[in-house]
């Protein structure tokens, strides 16, 4: 095996963005969702890691769950690439920043290769590949298909000539004869190489739930699927060929460097992060640290009391799945409720909003939650909000000027019920999305801002500094320096 240039990804000089930087990279795409991209990405990362390579994983879109598995496989945080939130220049900068110290980057796409926000495919995996000048390997679900696979591949090859479709990786192949027919048809009619073929095998299937895969942090017993996937990739994929494809990516530059986060002072910011609440972008936590926050991590299931903090950040997750355990930890809930009543600044997103409610109804039962917000939450069988959001800041928003546009995303099966509207204000008016009620999102109550919308720090430079300043002011810290 030819060795990658291990000096290419270390000592990046991002202060000189016009200097080309070499980083081998590949985008894993598919004709449609549920083709097995995540399974393939996990296996490739684990198998190449076993060979001694440091792999930097990326996920296209605002997803949290797939990145949790990619992070586990790579041993370094997966980062999100999203052209709804970032310009191509910002995306390249974020990509290069994440690749520091890595030998190879693997980008897992979302949905189908050309699926985007509109007829033009805006924000699609294909546009990510173009922005990164990265070759694409198409993961093809071969279920109940032989010669037709060649027609499908040929269509993807010709649809947009700007895309460098460099190889095919077959998934869910039934038997050796099936694989041989697929390989011969694709070679004969498209000329593209098939670099591997994974057989059908339930051992490397990660269970699904209403928002996608079960998150990696939630159940360690599921981690065996990762080992099975690695073994399957080693046995059935030409890793040397994949590396050769990744090396064809040209040196990359970023024409503009986004404004750097400016430290505004020191505050102790509690971050509730555990098996329940783990929907945090690495970029958000890093931005808060750079802005001066000392992050104090809190386990909502194990901590009996709230530690001394100046504010709280409660991200998304699955509080409904752990509702009984959260209810049982009454002492922490009581501490948070008391702190909120005394004006502790709390920023919460989706699952965090649910936790701050009086109660959650899941199935036929109501579970007691923190009780810091004058509302209840009820789980439904269908999504109540799903996709990108666009909001306008309302008066009194602590992070954005009145009327400012705010981009985010939401994906929740819960809805707010029994809200005492006379007691709350709203931080955002909904232009696109659903939020709390289709019109507003971001409940402002005492020192709390709780929304269904998740924000991505690189999309809103200055958000982290304003949150740190907000915590300081709300907590009565006289000086940030």
Annotated catalytic residues are 350
Q: 404: which 2 tokens?
A: 């400012």
Give dist(CA 425, CA 408) in Å, integer.
20
For residue 227, give the nearest of 69, 57, 55 by alpha carbon. Answer: 69
Q: 73: which 2 tokens?
A: 């496989």
Give dist(CA 150, CA 186) in Å, integer.
5
First to last CA, the chain: 53
- Asked if 217 and 66 touch (Cβ cutoff 8 Å), the reply is no
For residue 253, give the nearest of 359, 95, 126 by alpha carbon. Answer: 95
| Burial category of 66 from C-beta neighbours within 10 Å (exposed 0-12, middle 13-18, buried 19 and up) | buried
- Asked if 117 and 84 touch (Cβ cutoff 8 Å), the reply is yes
Strand order of the β-sheet with 346-349 is: 293-298, 267-272, 311-314, 346-349, 448-451, 440-445, 425-432, 385-393, 405-412
Per the listing, tokens 């591949």 go with 153
Give dist(CA 114, CA 157) in Å, integer.
12
Give dist(CA 90, CA 128) in Å, integer.
12
Give the side-chain half-sphere CA count within 13 A for 220.
1
How many contiguous H segments (helices) and E segments (strands) does the chain have? 13, 24
Angle between helices 88-99 and 125-132 (to 10 degrees): 70
Residue 139: strand, helix, or coil:
strand
Give dist(CA 321, CA 275) in Å, integer.
10
Partners of residue 209 on adjacent β-strands:
212
Give dist(CA 442, CA 440) in Å, integer.
7
């Amino acid at each position: 095996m030819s060795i990658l240039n291990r000096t290419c990804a270390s000592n990046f000089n991002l202060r000189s963005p016009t200097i080309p930087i070499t980083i081998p990279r590949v985008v894993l795409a598919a004709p449609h969702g549920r083709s097995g991209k995540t399974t393939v990405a996990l296996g490739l990362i684990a198998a190449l890691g076993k060979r001694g390579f440091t792999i930097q994983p990326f996920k296209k879109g605002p997803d949290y769950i797939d990145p949790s598995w990619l992070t586990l496989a790579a041993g370094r945080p997966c980062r999100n690439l999203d052209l709804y939130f970032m310009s191509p220049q910002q995306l390249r900068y974020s990509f290069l920043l994440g690749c520091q110290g890595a030998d190879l980057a693997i980008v897992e796409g979302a949905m189908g290769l050309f699926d985007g926000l509109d007829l033009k495919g805006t924000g699609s995996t294909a546009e990510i590949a173009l922005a990164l000048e990265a070759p694409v390997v198409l993961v093809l679900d071969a279920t109940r298909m032989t010669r037709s696979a060649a027609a499908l591949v040929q269509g993807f090859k010709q649809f947009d000539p700007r895309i460098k479709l460099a190889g095919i990786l077959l998934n869910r192949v039934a038997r050796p004869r099936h694989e041989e027919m697929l390989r011969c048809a694709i070679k004969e009619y498209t000329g593209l190489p098939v670099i591997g073929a994974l057989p059908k095998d339930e051992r490397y299937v990660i269970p699904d739930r209403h928002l996608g895969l079960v998150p990696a942090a939630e159940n360690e017993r599921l981690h065996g699927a990762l080992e099975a996937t690695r073994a399957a990739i080693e046995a059935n994929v030409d890793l040397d060929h994949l590396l050769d494809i990744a090396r064809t990516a040209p040196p990359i530059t970023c024409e503009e460097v986004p404004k750097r986060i400016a430290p505004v002072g020191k505050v102790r910011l509690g971050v509730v992060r555990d098996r329940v609440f783990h929907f945090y972008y690495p970029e958000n936590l890093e931005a808060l640290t750079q802005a001066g926050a000392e992050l104090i991590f809190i386990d909502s299931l194990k901590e009996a009391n709230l530690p001394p903090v100046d504010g709280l950040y409660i991200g998304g997750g699955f509080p409904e799945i752990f509702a009984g355990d959260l209810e049982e930890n009454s002492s922490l809930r009581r501490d948070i409720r008391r702190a909120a009543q005394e004006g502790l600044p709390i920023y919460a997103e989706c699952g965090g909003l649910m936790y701050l409610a009086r109660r959650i109804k899941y199935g036929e039962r109501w579970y007691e939650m923190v009780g810091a917000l004058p509302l209840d939450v009820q789980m439904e069988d269908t999504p109540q909000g799903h996709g990108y959001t666009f909001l306008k800041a309302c008066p009194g928003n602590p992070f954005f000027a009145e009327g400012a546009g705010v981009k985010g995303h939401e994906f929740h099966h819960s809805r707010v019920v029994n809200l005492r509207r006379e007691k709350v204000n709203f931080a955002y008016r909904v232009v696109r999305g659903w939020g709390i009620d289709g019109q507003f999102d971001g409940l402002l109550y005492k020192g709390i801002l709780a929304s269904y919308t998740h924000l991505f720090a690189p999309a809103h430079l200055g958000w982290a500094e304003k949150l740190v300043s907000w915590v300081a002011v709300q907590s009565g810290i006289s000086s940030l320096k």
